[in-house]
Amino acid sequence: MTHAIRVHETGGPEKLRWEVVEVGKPGAGEVRLRHTAIGVDYADIYYRTGVYPTALPIVPGHEAVGIVEEVGAGVNDVSIGDRVAYVTQEIGAYAETRVIPSRHLIRLPPAISDNEAAAIILKGMTVRYLVCETYNVKANDVVLVHAAAGGVGLVLCQWLKHLGATVIGTVSNEHKAELAKANGCAHTIDYTREDFVQRVHDLTDGRKVPVVYDSIGKDTFARSLDCLAPEGLLIVFGHTSGKVTPFDLMLLATKGSLYVTRPTLWSRLKNKEDLVSRANEVFSKVGEGTVRITIGQTYPLREAPRAHMDLESRKTIGTTILSV
């Protein structure tokens, strides 16, 4: 038996229930992992609220770090006692212990702590595809990043700066503005008080930007389009304010032959090779100092409701960790 956070019906943070659950023995190709650190992602909230519909009950969570406790038949890539991390579309990370296929596991370099690995692995891989694949960022690009002081945001700003881009970041308060500036933003805009379209126009002398990284969705979508130069790309990679409502495609024509995409990390992780090579690239970016990890807040796993409450009410900075 172990403890896990389960959701039996969708709703607010109070629907995250700390329960005793049974963990079976690992089957063929599986291991049983004792978690030490779990990364919180905004997607965990989409599952809890039903924005991502799924059969219930669920244990949320896409990523964690832990120690291999038992291996099933045919597992030869990890051994009992190994320290590993995983990122997978198969939710279930909000638990003290989990059985999981070994193909999802990544060995951790000694220099990175459990909390750091849980904080960076999914977010780092996300940023990697956003800046190198969804759009190939070039030196001297001026780019707009919403929620610049968030978990993904701080990593994104640092990676963009490393590529030579000038980053304009939106944030909701002064503290977040300072943090975003310390992590690669050349300019910040408080989008709760300022007109970010006008500020982007002014900061770029009317040229606007070739790409906008928008994880806010509904509240920012239309205005993000207005920040784009002709043939610019709006990357909607999340929707913390709600899903983007349907729109007339002609809007993209009238605003200058624009592009919109809604990508997901899961399309980029097709096999173990993808997973390991991307994870190692993220770890080397951390090792060489290109990306610093900001763990803004840590909660015991059983206090996951408080973690969700703080994340949803925009109180958090950087990444949130659940410790076990």
Q: Which is nearer to ligand NAP, 70 or 190 (CB)?
A: 190
Residue 232: count of CB within 10 angstroms of its CB? 23
CB of 97 to ligand NAP, least distance (A): 24
User: What's the distance, CA 319 to chain centroid?
Assistant: 9
Q: How far is the CB of 273 from ligand NAP (least distance, A)?
A: 19
Task: Decide if residue 153 touches ligand NAP (CB under 6 A).
Answer: yes
152 binds ligand NAP (CB under 6 A): yes
- Residue 176 as a binder of ligand NAP (CB under 6 A): the answer is yes
Residue nearest to ligand NAP (CB): 238
- Using CB under 6 A, which of 124, 151, 184, 210 touches ligand NAP? 151
Write out the H or E segment, with its range, that includes residue 246.
Answer: none
172 makes contact with ligand NAP (CB under 6 A) = yes
Distance between CA atoms of 11 and 46, rounded to whole angstroms? 10
- Cα 119 from Cα 65, distance rounded (Å): 10
Cβ proximity of 170 and 145 under 8 Å: yes
Best CA proximity match to 157, nearest among 173, 138, 144: 144
Amino acid identity at 96: E
* 16 in contact with ligand NAP (CB under 6 A): no
Restricting to residues 217-246, name those near ligand NAP by CB under 6 A.
Answer: 237-241
What minimum distance in Å lies between the beta carbon of 288 and ligand NAP?
Answer: 22
- 3-state SS string over 225-261? HCCEEEEEEEEECCCCCCCCCCCCCHHHHHCCCCEEE
- Total residues in contact with ligand NAP, by rule CB under 6 A: 27
199 scored as a contact of ligand NAP (CB under 6 A): no
C-alpha to C-alpha distance for 212 and 279, rounded to whole angstroms: 25
Return the range that interacts with ligand NAP (CB under 6 A); candidates 14-22, 82-90, 149-157, 299-307.
149-157
| Most distant pair of Cα atoms in the chain: their distance | 63
State which of residues 30, 41, 63, 96 lies at the interface with ligand NAP (CB under 6 A): 41
Nearest to ligand NAP of 26, 296 (CB atom) = 296
| Site membership for ligand NAP, residue 299 (CB under 6 A) | no
Residue type, 158: Q
Tell me how far the alpha carbon of residue 192 is from its chain's centroid. 22
* Residues 322/307, Cβ–Cβ less than 8 Å: yes
Residue 158 lies near ligand NAP (rule: CB under 6 A): no
Q: Where in 74-113 is the site for ligand NAP (CB under 6 A)?
A: none
Q: Point out which residues pair with 3 in neighbouring strands.
A: 20
CB 322 within 8 A of CB 62: no
Asked if 121 interacts with ligand NAP (CB under 6 A), we say no
The identity of residue 175, as a single letter, is H
Give SS3 for 177.
helix
Residue 155: CB minimum distance to ligand NAP, A: 8
Binding residue (CB under 6 A) for ligand NAP from 215, 260, 279, 295: 215
**By the criterion CB under 6 A, which residues form the site for ligand NAP?**
41-43, 126, 147, 149-153, 171-172, 176, 215-216, 237-241, 263-265, 311-312, 314, 316
